[in-house]
C-alpha cells in the first residue's frame, strides 16, 4: 500500500477540496481500507479522494468502522455516516476501470448487464438489495453513485444502455445487526428439526423464484451467500449472476462453488436457471448436518437434483409434498 496517502485537503483535487470544506474528510484509516480493497496501484491511490467524494455525496462524513467479511473478489465493511450505518462492499479491480479492456464482469453498457449490478433490483424481503452502486462513469470520467431506482429504470428499458458505459467498483446497502450466514450456523453444528429445514428450504426457493422471475440466474447459491436472522433468510452476492439468455444465446461457462454447482454447469453444458435449483438442494442438504430426516426429505432432495430437463423450477418445487405444512 502507498504509505504517503493522507486525508488532508492538499491531497484532494480542487472539487473534493470544496466539497470537504463543508463535510468532514474521511480519516486516513478509512482511505487506507479503501485503497487496500480496490487495489494498491498508483492509479487507484490517486483516485481514492474522488471515490470518497462520490460516497460522501449521499453518506456525508462516512467512516469505515470494521471489516465484515472478505471474499474472492471483494471486501465488505460496516460504515457509519450522518445517514446512519450501512454496508460498503468494495470490489478489487486494481485500477482496471481506467482502461478500455476493464474487467467485463463489472461493466454496465449496451453489450453487458449482470453481476453485482443485479443487487440493485428489488426482489422482495428474501433477497438482499443494495441502495447504491459505486461506479466509474467512463463517458464523463467521474466516479458516481447509481441508485437502485436509476438502475431499475435501465433494466426495464435496455435501449437506454446505448449511452451508458459504467464499471462497478462497489455497492452500498443497509446494515443489520446480528446477521450471520448459513455457513456460520452449519459450522456451529446446531441440529435443525424437520420443520426448521422445511421452513428454510421454502424461503430459499421463494427467494429464487423472485430472482428467476426477472430472468436472472444467481449462479452461486451456497450457505455463505444466504444470511440468517431470527429464522428469516436473505440471499446475497450477485457477483456471478447473469441474465437467462434467449434461445439465440446460451449459457455454458463454468462458475460457482464446486460443491454446489449443477452437473450441467460443471460439464460446461448448456444450462439455465434450474442450475440454481440444484445448488439450492445441495445447500438445503447441508442444513441437516448429516442427519436422516426421513424419506420425504430424501425424495425432495432427489427431485431437485434430477437432470436439468426434468428438474422443477423454483415455483414448481414450492408445491413439492415435503414443503407442505405437516
253 vs 65, which has greater pLDDT? 65
Pull the grid cell for residue 84: 446512519
Contact 235, 112 (CB under 8 A): no
Phi and psi of 242, rounded to 5°?
-145, 160
Mean pLDDT of 181-186: 90
Whether this prediction's pTM lies above 0.75 is answered by: yes
Q: How confident is the model at residue 236 (pLDDT cuts 50, 70, 90)?
A: very high
Q: How confident is the model at residue 48 (pLDDT cuts 50, 70, 90)?
A: confident
pLDDT at 96: 43
> Length of the chain, please?
326
Mean pLDDT of 175-201: 89
Mean pLDDT of 235-254: 75
Q: How confident is the model at residue 111 (pLDDT cuts 50, 70, 90)?
A: confident
pLDDT higher than 80, residue 307: yes
Pull the grid cell for residue 223: 450457505
Instruction: Give the C-alpha separation, 38 to 47, whole Å.
Output: 10
Q: Which residue has the cell 434450474?
A: 274
Q: How confident is the model at residue 130 (pLDDT cuts 50, 70, 90)?
A: very high
Give the helix/strand (H/E) hosting 142.
strand 142-147
DSSP string of 81-118, one letter each residue? ETTEEEEEEEE--TTGGGSTT--GGGEEETTB--GGGG
Architecture of the domain spanning 180-323:
Orthogonal Bundle (1.10)
Q: Which residue has the cell 451467500?
A: 225
312 vs 83, which has greater pLDDT? 312
pLDDT at 8: 34
Q: Residues spanned by CATH 1.10.510.10 within the chain?
A: 180-323
156 vs 189, which has greater pLDDT? 156
Neighbouring CB atoms inside 10 A of 152's CB total: 14
pLDDT at 31: 76
Q: Helix or strand or coil: residue 125?
A: coil
Residue 1 CB-density burial (10 A; 0-12 exposed, 13-18 middle, 19+ buried) = exposed
pLDDT higher than 50, residue 7: no
pLDDT higher than 90, residue 245: no
pLDDT at 80: 94
pLDDT at 94: 53
**Mean pLDDT score of the chain:** 84
Pull the grid cell for residue 253: 461457462
pLDDT at 24: 66
Neighbouring CB atoms inside 10 A of 304's CB total: 24
pLDDT at 72: 67
Instruction: Give the C-alpha separation, 265 to 89, whole Å.
Output: 27
| Dihedral of alpha carbons 137, 80, 117, 35, sign | positive
pLDDT at 105: 67
DSSP string of 149-177, one letter each residue? HHHHHHHH-GGGGGG-EEEEEEEEEE--T
233 vs 253, which has greater pLDDT? 233
Most confident option among 37-51, 107-121, 274-288: 274-288
Q: Which residues pair with 142 in a beta bridge?
A: 137
Residue 271 CB-density burial (10 A; 0-12 exposed, 13-18 middle, 19+ buried) = buried
Amino acid at each position: 500500500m502507498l504509505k504517503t496517502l493522507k486525508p488532508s485537503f492538499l491531497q484532494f483535487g480542487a472539487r473534493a477540496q470544496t466539497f470537504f470544506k463543508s463535510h468532514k474528510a474521511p480519516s486516513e484509516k478509512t482511505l487506507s481500507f479503501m485503497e487496500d480493497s480496490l487495489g494498491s496501484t498508483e492509479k487507484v491511490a490517486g483516485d481514492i479522494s474522488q471515490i470518497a467524494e462520490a460516497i460522501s455525496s449521499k453518506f456525508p462524513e462516512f467512516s469505515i468502522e470494521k471489516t465484515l467479511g472478505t471474499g474472492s473478489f471483494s471486501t465488505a465493511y460496516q460504515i457509519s455516516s450522518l445517514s446512519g450505518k450501512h454496508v460498503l462492499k468494495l470490489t478489487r479491480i486494481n485500477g482496471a476501470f481506467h482502461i478500455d479492456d476493464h474487467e467485463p464482469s463489472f461493466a454496465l453498457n449496451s453489450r453487458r448487464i449482470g453481476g453485482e449490478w443485479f443487487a440493485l433490483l428489488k426482489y422482495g424481503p428474501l433477497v438482499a438489495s443494495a441502495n447504491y452502486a459505486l461506479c466509474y462513469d467512463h463517458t464523463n470520467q467521474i466516479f458516481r453513485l447509481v441508485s437502485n431506482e436509476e438502475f431499475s429504470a435501465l433494466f426495464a428499458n435496455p435501449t437506454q444502455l446505448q449511452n451508458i458505459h459504467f464499471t462497478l467498483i462497489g455497492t452500498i446497502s443497509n446494515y443489520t445487526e446480528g446477521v450471520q450466514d448459513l455457513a456460520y450456523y452449519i459450522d456451529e453444528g446446531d441440529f435443525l428439526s424437520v420443520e426448521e429445514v422445511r421452513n428454510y428450504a421454502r424461503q430459499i426457493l421463494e427467494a429464487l423464484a423472485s430472482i428467476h422471475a426477472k430472468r436472472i440466474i444467481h449462479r452461486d447459491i451456497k450457505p455463505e451467500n444466504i444470511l440468517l436472522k431470527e429464522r428469516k433468510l436473505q440471499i446475497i452476492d450477485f457477483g456471478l449472476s447473469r441474465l437467462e439468455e434467449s434461445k439465440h444465446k446460451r449459457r455454458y461457462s463454468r462458475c460457482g462453488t464446486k460443491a454446489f454447482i449443477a452437473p450441467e454447469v460443471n460439464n460446461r453444458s448448456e444450462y439455465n436457471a434450474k442450475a440454481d435449483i440444484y445448488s439450492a438442494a445441495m445447500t438445503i442438504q447441508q442444513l441437516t448436518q448429516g442427519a436422516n430426516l426421513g424419506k420425504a426429505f430424501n425424495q425432495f432432495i432427489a427431485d431437485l437434483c434430477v437432470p436439468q430437463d426434468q428438474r422443477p423450477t423454483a415455483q414448481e418445487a414450492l408445491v413439492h409434498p415435503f414443503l407442505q405444512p405437516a
